[in-house]
């Protein structure tokens, strides 16, 4: 499994990489698989090798709010928090594009704090996810819906490393808490402005 962890070798110490290779469990998940659900207790920490995972939060009325995407080289700070505090998950993580993930047992969290690179990785992940959540809050509070939509499409492009986004208008509407009709209208507007191109079952960011 050591080869599969290649993208982490420049960030983590060789001794730590060896322990991850020994303790981690390599898993492959198809799109649509729920890795973390609301209210569940977590026993493992995900290290994403490839693919895209969407993280959302749920409000009191059961509506989901998109927070951020995870791609190769990422881990979920919210899952780290839940594991360390042994509390129920307040987020949901769903595989957007087929993903490979290394699941790390919870007890390794404390053991690996002796490695400077692991501490830096964990705190860096907290910082990255915190900034992304602040961006999500800012977009709700200050951005118009067309700006939120374009920001969302750019997030999709960056996390997947692909200019082509394979999502339905309804999926995007769900993530942005609006209707499919509104999203379709705004996508057409963005196309007219030359920011995207619409194809059958695909959106291309220009």
Q: Output the CA torsion 29→33→35→37 (10° steps).
A: 180
145-160 helix and 116-142 helix, angle to the nearest 10 degrees: 150
pLDDT for residue 141: 63
Per-residue model confidence as pLDDT tens digits over 31-47 = 889 988 888 888 888 89
Cβ–Cβ < 8 Å for 104, 20: yes
For 101, phi then psi, to 5°, come to: -135, 140
pLDDT, one tens digit per residue, over 61-94 is 777 778 888 888 888 877 777 766 677 888 889 9
Q: Give percent above pLDDT 90 in the chain.
A: 9
Distance CA 1, CA 23 (A): 11
Is the pLDDT reported for residue 1 higher than 60?
A: no
In order of their start, the domains of the chain are 2-141 (2.60.120.10), 144-205 (1.10.10.10)
pLDDT at 129: 79
> pTM of whole model > 0.95?
no
Q: State residue 168's pLDDT score.
A: 86
């Amino acid at each position: 499994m050591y080869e599969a962890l290649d993208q982490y070798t420049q960030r983590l110490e060789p001794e730590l990489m060896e322990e991850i290779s020994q303790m981690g469990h390599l898993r492959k998940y198809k799109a649509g698989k729920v890795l973390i659900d609301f209210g569940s207790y977590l026993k493992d920490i995900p290290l994403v090798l490839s693919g895209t995972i969407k993280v959302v939060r749920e409000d009191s009325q059961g509506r989901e709010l998109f927070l951020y995407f995870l791609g190769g080289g990422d881990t979920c700070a919210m899952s780290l928090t839940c594991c360390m505090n042994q509390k129920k998950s307040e987020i949901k993580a769903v595989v957007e594009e087929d993903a490979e993930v290394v699941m790390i047992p919870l007890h390794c969290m404390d053991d690996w704090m002796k490695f400077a690179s692991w501490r830096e990785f964990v705190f860096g992940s907290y910082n990255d996810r915190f900034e992304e959540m602040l961006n999500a809050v800012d977009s709700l509070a200050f951005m118009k819906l067309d700006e939120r939509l374009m920001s969302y499409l750019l997030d999709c492009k960056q996390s997947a490393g692909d200019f082509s986004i394979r999502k339905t208008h309804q999926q995007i509407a769900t993530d942005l808490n609006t209707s499919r009709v509104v999203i379709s209208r705004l996508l057409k507007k963005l196309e007219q402005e030359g920011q995207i191109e619409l194809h059958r079952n695909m959106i291309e960011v220009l």
